[in-house]
Structure 1
Amino acid sequence: MFRAPLLAATLALTALPAAAFDMAAMSDAEREAFRAEIRAYLLDNPEVLMEAIGVLEERQAEAQAQGDVALVSSHADALFNDGFSWVGGNPEGDITIVEFMDYRCGYCKKAFPEVESLIEADGNIRFIVKEFPILGEQSELASRFAIATLQVEGDAAYKAVHDGLMQMRGEINEASLTALAAEAAFDPAPVLAAMTSDEVSAVIAENRALAQQMQISGTPTFVLEDQMLRGYVPLQAMMGLVSEARDAK
């Protein structure tokens, strides 16, 4: 019969090669005693479980990061050179950040002033916005207006509209979008007319398809060079990541 003097026998068994430790070869009583010994040890030493969970989480995070690098590499052209997304910051910057965002996303709004501060303070970041409306009808309405503004009125008008939408707290509707166009000093009529065009719809469809391929389901999601940052990242942390990415070049 299996008699394990507390942990010693358990450690001895687990130290054996896999072939030498065969649970199937144990009797029912031996298996029961072995399981009881493990349970008693874990109850007496619960920190072991926390340590094991920590190791597991580290391994999962490392695997996720490696997978993200592969995803970024395989979709680099669509991310960094799609030809239709707005490019801000320093277009010739040595670091590129892409943001998948939604104008109704609270964390996108929280990140907005910090991303602006990062780009302004650094001066050498190329910043690309991916319109990714996922939070309902008003999200899509806002993105359609922003994309149509870029296509009809150009980069400067898009920047003004983007900033205005990121800071907007009220309802997004035709009236609020018209007011936003007035603040940006352009005629809203051509932009409103273009919102349902095939060209605008194509941009949203392309961004959604890219997000699906890259396993992006939430906003904000940032792509910083070859890594993905899923969710809000505080300014100081983002600055550190930019510095690390620059050092790695």
Structure 2
Amino acid sequence: MPLRFALPLMLAMSGPVAALELDAMTDAEREAFRAEVRAYLLDNPEVMQEAFAVLQQREQEAQVTTDMEMIATYSDALFNDRYSYVGGNPAGDITIVEFMDYRCGYCKRAFPEIEALIAADTNIRLIVKEFPILGEQSVLASRFAVATLLVAGDDAYKSVHDTLMEFRGDITQASMTRLAEILELDAQAIIAKMDSDEVTNVITQNRQLGQQMQISGTPTFVIEDQLLRGYVPLDAMEQLVAGLRE
């Protein structure tokens, strides 16, 4: 770390009293103090690494606290919105909320691991938040999935969701129509529902919730009172769930 950042960081770590004492010094005393700090840091550069590590830890702890407060504030919208798909065990003791986008590579990477987690642990409740942020194809896919949920119910949505998570081609109305036909769904009814106000409202509310929760990327997971931004490996998910149960 450049030495010009050393003194401000040390004062930040030591609190307002140190800053007030520095302000009370004469110019000569202040220059002498700075010279002593510089000499000490040159002789002991590991001190700055330790101080920076402590500062990072404090920032992380502050972020965790902020995240927990946001989850508590928006808990009803997160866990009880009455329009999102609920999978796994609806009465499970651990709830996982996933904000996802069908065009997101890391969402696709997380998909089989979330499936494995729920298959192995039958006491997890999974809520899927359609959160299309990667362009028009993402929006089209989410509209199709939400329309399927509204027209044909949970099982049909699950089939569509799983297929879209593994889908690698372009998402168009034609490809979605073909997908509905392959899954033996009422393609005409689903396509007709896609542009409805009901579907628009679901996606709009998810986006608003994402903004309120300071979520800007996918996947993002809310696991009880924990907010996890980005892909999380299966073993880390398992450890977190086990820790929440302790």
Q: Scaled by the length of structure 1, what TM-score is found? A: 0.88
Ranges in structure 1 where 5+ consecutive residues have no aligned partner: 1-13
Aligned-pair RMSD on alpha carbons?
1.7
In the other structure, the counterpart of 2:21 is: 21
CA–CA distance in structure 1, aligned partners of residues 50 and 150 of structure 2: 53
In the other structure, the counterpart of 2:214 is: 215
Pairwise CA distance, 1:42: 2.0
In the other structure, the counterpart of 1:84 is: 83
CA–CA distance in structure 1, aligned partners of residues 20 and 72 of structure 2: 44
Pairwise CA distance, 1:20: 8.3
CA–CA distance in structure 1, aligned partners of residues 19 and 175 of structure 2: 71
The amino acid of 1:62's aligned partner reads E
The amino acid of 2:112's aligned partner reads P
Deviation digits for residues 191-217 of structure 1 (CA, Å, limit 9, x no counterpart): 111111000000001111111111111
Pairwise CA distance, 1:73: 1.1
Pairwise CA distance, 1:237: 0.4
Ranges in structure 2 where 5+ consecutive residues have no aligned partner: 1-13
Q: CA separation of 1:42/1:18 partners in 2, compared to 1, >3 Å: closer, same or farther?
A: closer
Q: Scaled by the length of structure 2, what TM-score is found? A: 0.89
Identity value in percent: 65
In the other structure, the counterpart of 1:196 is: 195
Count of aligned positions:
231
In the other structure, the counterpart of 1:105 is: 104
Q: Report 1:1-249 matches (<5 A).
A: 18=18, 21-27=21-27, 29-247=28-246
In the other structure, the counterpart of 2:6 is: none
Q: CA separation of 1:70/1:44 partners in 2, compared to 1, >3 Å: closer, same or farther?
A: same
Pairwise CA distance, 1:48: 1.5
Q: CA separation of 1:40/1:75 partners in 2, compared to 1, >3 Å: closer, same or farther?
A: same
Moved over 4 A (4+): 17-20
CA–CA distance in structure 1, aligned partners of residues 19 and 135 of structure 2: 56
Pairwise CA distance, 1:236: 0.2
